[in-house]
Structure 1
């Protein structure tokens, strides 16, 4: 079942959400980024589990949300595309606290063996109310993810810096090749 679960990860602001929107438009099941959903909820309620207030609480919420997303995804047939996911949240928690979260969550909860990575793309990077960190912080996160996924046995497929439709095509073509 987890081989149907495909993660798009990589650099913050690298175009993951746009690719997921294109995949959704083409009829595929997608799971929105846990972090953005948490930030929206926390800001609406006045709570403090925000990455710029309490990164550890935020990462723990992202882990909980990612686990729930995996359970909910079981109801979908075919490929399910995740905008980030459990491993990204575990990397954030381990970075913030030193807790061994990557191994704890990454080994038992698997995704498709190929993880699609959006590389740093300064020309399209933009902050917004939910992404308050700068490009330097995004690059640090990218390096941590770039190390964590292969350490868990995943193959990284770095997506080209091309238009959204071509990037979605690249994801689907790679999955088709891997399915053969």
Structure 2
């Protein structure tokens, strides 16, 4: 069974906070490639930043997500990803029209169920690493919510509830899936 679980969806929808809760509960997580890239590029005065060169940023996110996915194959328990390869490939395909999504998603599959954080304006904030506005975040969410099913994934939209309850919700869904197999 593939135990690499994607948590994707709207930027600013609570993914990182949710992943922190899963860490507290003893689960392995992979930090979002985009945030790692932005931190590194800002430290190194690089240009692969979403507000400078989005194409270079998306290509770096794809490379990082492929490496993250390969490393996760050695894990035995659930591994939760804050975004992943599909997110980076979807961004690149949207920007360039390059038909990369299907090819990459076939070679690097995640768990069948993908959890999406919906747009949640009450918790959305910008910061030095997230400079885009809420409307851009919603546009990205809409693209991802449409793309994942076309790639053969089942999506579950996370309810807008407290972070501990969201973690319980995900773990309950995965537990039910495991029992049904």
TM band (smaller chain): over 0.9
Give the aligned partner of residue 79 of structure 2.
80
Following the alignment from structure 1 to structure 2, what is the Cα–Cα distance between the partners of residues 134 and 64?
Answer: 26
* The 10-residue stretch of structure 1 (95-104 or 37-46) with the greater mean CA deviation from structure 2: 95-104
Task: Note if contact 1:8-1:82 (Cα within 8 Å) is conserved in structure 2.
Answer: yes
Aligned match of 2:47: 48
> In 1, distance between residues paired with 2:3 and 2:43?
33
TM-score for both structures, normalised by structure 2: 0.97
- Give TM-score, length-normalised by structure 1: 0.97
Contact 1:102/1:148 (<8 A) preserved: no
Contact kept in structure 2, 1:13 and 1:125, CA below 8 Å: yes
Aligned residue pairs, count: 179
Pairing of 1:87-126 with structure 2 (within 5 A): 87-126=86-125
Equivalence for 2:128: 129
What is the CA–CA distance in structure 2 between the aligned matches of 1:42 and 1:60, rounded to whole Å?
14
Deviations 1:63-104 (A, max 9, x none): 000001012212322100000000000001001111012112
Task: Give unpaired runs (5+ residues) of structure 2.
Answer: none
Aligned equivalent of 1:59? 58
Partners of 1:140 and 1:107 in 2: how far apart? 25
Per-residue deviation at 1:38? 0.2
CA distance in 2, matches of 1:52, 1:106: 26
1:37-81 deviations in whole A, cap 9, x for unaligned? 000000100010001111110000000000010122123221000
Distance 2:25 2:89 in 1: 30
